[in-house]
Structure 1
Amino acid sequence: MKPVKPLEFGARVTRLLQRRSGSAKAPQVEFGNWSFDRSSTSLQLARKAGPKRIVLTEREYRLALALFQHLGSTLSRSHLLEYSGASGEEMRSRALDSHMYRLRNKLFRQPEHGLRLKTIYGQGYRLERLAGADGRLQ
């Protein structure tokens, strides 16, 4: 059996407690036409053709929520890694880029959604509205 790292152990306990206390976090958060469902780690996009449900992994969900909460602002790589709950080993890897690539493909590839995930070289990532998009999030 491997020795337990105190910092990692504390993070795991905190995470488990957060999962069990579902009442501590709102089960659903909305940003315009985008609805974040905490219980299923999914998003629902309300659109004319009918709602579209997009299932995300836990880490993708956290990253997407951080991006929507800071729409138009550049989020640093370290902030995104910390927000997503990445461990020390993952912080040194290119894992964030892989998660952002998958998130971009799942949520922001379609121009009709009105949003774009932009890589800011040497800084991080920024979620921004596309020019010509109406005033609400789609």
Structure 2
Amino acid sequence: MEDASRILVVDDDAGIRDVLGDYLSQHGFIAYQAASAREMDDVLAATQIDLIVLDMMMPGEDGLSVCRRMGGKGAPILMLSAMSEETDRIVGLELGAADYVGKPCNPRELLARVRAVLRRQDATRSATGGAVATFAGWRLDRVRREITTPGGREVALSRNEFVMLEVLMENAGRIVRREQLLERTRVSGRDANERAMDVQISRLRRKLSEDGSQELIVTIRSEGYLFDAVVDKEH
């Protein structure tokens, strides 16, 4: 069990926590539980967590507020949402959630989504090589999930913006198709979510040009995006 991933289930419904926690434990994960955002913070302070399963609607601080506060740093978040409106789920993704599962939740679907998010984390670590990469004077720290401008100022990125930047950097000088970005950020192929991805790309492009830097993300019409910079990796 030393190599088992640690999953934290955060939901104010004890029945849901028990069902999901037991199911994850039966499939090789170490499952922790929290009934609120405050209890979640206590667990995170004491334990290295690899992924958080977080209910969107909770009394006190809700899931969207937690995503906003965490800012895409730390363990990836898989949102549990009973919201029927797709825009509500898109907001969660834009605030940094790695994926979402609708409620009532099928434990088998949750398990598949958990595994997919963890696989993407592993793939990103392998592809980016070292912990730090630089491009056009910028510095990206993969472990701390931080990016700093050529002038040394830290720029805040959502989790999906960070992942998209890593994908573009991995393929610097080559066209990255939109489908590749959708797969890596786990935004589904429905039109509304594709639009959300395009919005995130626009925000990422704007953040990378805030202090007068050259345009680094080039749109290739009908094909995808190209990262126009040389990337150096530090090991």
Answer yes or no: same fold by TM over 0.5. yes
Residue 34 of structure 1 and its aligned partner are, at CA, apart by 2.6
Aligned residue runs from structure 1 range 1-138, under 5 A: 1-4=103-106, 6-7=108-109, 9-15=111-117, 28-32=131-135, 33-47=137-151, 51-89=152-190, 93-108=194-209, 110-111=211-212, 113-129=213-229
Residue 43 of structure 1 and its aligned partner are, at CA, apart by 0.4
Residue 77 of structure 1 and its aligned partner are, at CA, apart by 0.4
Question: Structure 1 92/15 Cα, relative in aligned 2: closer, same or farther at 3 Å?
Answer: closer
Contact residue 41 and residue 57 of structure 1 kept, 8 A: no
Question: Structure 1 5/92 Cα, relative in aligned 2: closer, same or farther at 3 Å?
Answer: farther
Question: Structure 1 30/93 Cα, relative in aligned 2: closer, same or farther at 3 Å?
Answer: closer
Consecutive unaligned residues in structure 2, runs of 5 or more:
1-102
Using the size of structure 1 for normalisation, the TM-score is 0.68
> Which structure 1 residue ranges, 4+ long, deviate > 3 Å from structure 2?
5-9, 16-19, 24-27, 87-93, 108-111
Cα displacement string for residues 70-111 of structure 1 (whole angstroms, at most 9, x for unaligned residues)? 111110000011122224557753111111010011013554
Question: Structure 1 102/88 Cα, relative in aligned 2: closer, same or farther at 3 Å?
Answer: same
Residue 10 of structure 1 and its aligned partner are, at CA, apart by 1.2
2 CA distance for matches of 1:12 and 1:75?
Answer: 25
Aligned residue for 1:35, secondary structure, equals strand
Contact residue 132 and residue 141 of structure 2 kept, 8 A: yes
| Percent of matched pairs sharing the same residue | 22
Aligned residue for 2:187, secondary structure, equals coil
2 CA distance for matches of 1:55 and 1:45?
Answer: 11
Question: Structure 1 90/61 Cα, relative in aligned 2: closer, same or farther at 3 Å?
Answer: farther
1 CA distance for matches of 2:198 and 2:120?
Answer: 26
